[in-house]
Amino acid sequence: MAIEVKIPAVGESITSGVVSVWRKKSGEFVNEGETLFTLETDKVSTEIVAEKAGLLETKVCEGQEVKIGEVVATIDDSKRPPEEKKAEKPQEKKKEPEEKKKEPEPKKGVEEEEKAAPQKEKPLSPAVRRIVEEEELTPERISATGKGGRLTKGDVLAAVQAHDRTEEKVETREVEPSADGRFVRKKMSPLRRKIAQQLVMAQHTAAILTTFNECDMSAVQDLRRNKQEEFTKRNGVKLGLMSFFVKACVEALKAVPVVNGRIDGDDFVQNNFYDIGVAVGTERGLVVPVMRDADKKSFADLERTTADYASRAREGKLKIEDLRGGTFTITNGGVYGSLFATPILNPPQSGILSMHKIMPRPIVVDGKVEVRPMMYLALSYDHRAIDGKEAVTFLVKVKECIEDPKKLPLDF
């Protein structure tokens, strides 16, 4: 019986992906749970495995864009692996030493080297393999420093930097220099193409508008300074800024529920839960893992979750489940030095908050000019669902909670 291999649903806003590489070729026998291919989307890469054992027949080529639900291969589970051939191999290996004793020593050494060569190949971790594929590197040419001679993420990233300075890198990435040498042209990676398509789609399908405000970070900085040592000893993680903003956004979403909803066709879906996406930058692009039920998490829980997601995102270990179902997103361009920016919505969500760099600026406090640590905030929202009054009210609520943290449930 032929079992269809379909592209699974990998997120509410994801409608397609790219089959970046087949792990198994057409005509090969695959075992249940074995990786068939890598699917690249604008958010994350994921490996699709075989649900049944059988003979694989692929229907699409590597690099081809596919829709969710599309059949990309079939597995004939009536076929069985060639067990007889597997059984013969051990017997042949047992006989070979006796036969080789009669042959000259040089010939024996050559045969042993040929058989040993395939065994020297080391498997690549998912994170390493994705970088190798995206950057089109040759693993055999990279110096391995890992245990047992395996390639580490650091090895391949170093190779990428080295290749950027060589003509070999230009050739493997199909870079075409202009006639006068003033510019070069190269193909975008499948992941970067999907990110570009998603961003354009977001701007074409929503009425995005941005409202701005600024907040005084003095109270939060004082609180962190006074509580940091105790918080770190008790929870094993530092008290950062993100947990304050997640808490503040939850309070604002409760005060202005429409920002926590989304448009679905001709309907508006009001979410009564608070799954907050937190954007994390990686070498391969921006990903948005989701903090489930953020309203029920303590400051320590939020900081641990943030640290865990950031670590796994940079190591390429995030799962599709980590990115699904967010109701609102927070992005922090301030860590890169951004002072002011307008974020793009993360479909199908209706709102996204952008944090920025904390800068000492003169402001008027009680009729006097004082220098305070200030941060600009930007809220982009879908004007189809959210009115300007509601958006401004939401952002003012976030500002109030940050400037007066006592309005937050301080559970540390």
Phi, psi of 173 (to 5 degrees): -95, 10
**pLDDT, tens only, 102-153:** 455 554 444 444 444 444 456 777 677 777 776 667 777 787 877 777 778 7
Is 387 one of the catalytic residues? yes
Which of these is catalytic: 164, 293, 387, 404? 387
Residue 34 pLDDT > 50: yes
Residue 259 to residue 311: CA distance in whole angstroms: 29
Which of these is catalytic: 76, 77, 295, 383? 383
Residue 77 pLDDT > 90: no
Beta carbons within 8 Å of 174's beta carbon, 6+ residues apart:
186, 187
Q: What is the pLDDT of residue 319?
A: 81
Is 204 one of the catalytic residues? no
DSSP symbol at 32: T
Q: Any idea what the Cα angle at residue 365 is, between residues 364 and 368, rounded to 5°? A: 70
The pair of structure tokens assigned to 371 is 């220098």
Domains in the chain and their CATH numbers? 2-76 (2.40.50.100), 124-184 (4.10.320.10), 206-407 (3.30.559.10)
The region of weakest confidence among 37-41, 199-203, 229-233, 272-276 is 37-41
Residue 177 to residue 83: CA distance in whole angstroms: 52
E strands along 77-158, which residues?
none
Does residue 294 contact residue 312 with C-beta atoms inside 8 Å? no
The pair of structure tokens assigned to 156 is 């391949």
Q: What is the pLDDT of residue 110?
A: 44
* Most confident listed range (6-10, 130-134, 186-190, 392-396): 392-396
Residue 173 pLDDT > 50: no
Q: What is the pLDDT of residue 170?
A: 38
Q: What is the pLDDT of residue 140?
A: 75
Kindly give the residue spans of alpha helices, DSSP state H, lying in 144-217: 153-163, 167-172, 190-205
Q: What is the pLDDT of residue 337?
A: 94
**pLDDT, tens only, 280-303:** 887 767 788 999 999 999 999 999
The residue whose two tokens read 């170093």 is 158
E strands along 217-350, which residues?
261-264, 267-270, 276-278, 280-282, 285-287, 290-291, 328-332
| Run of H or E residues at 46 | strand 45-49
Q: What is the pLDDT of residue 136?
A: 66
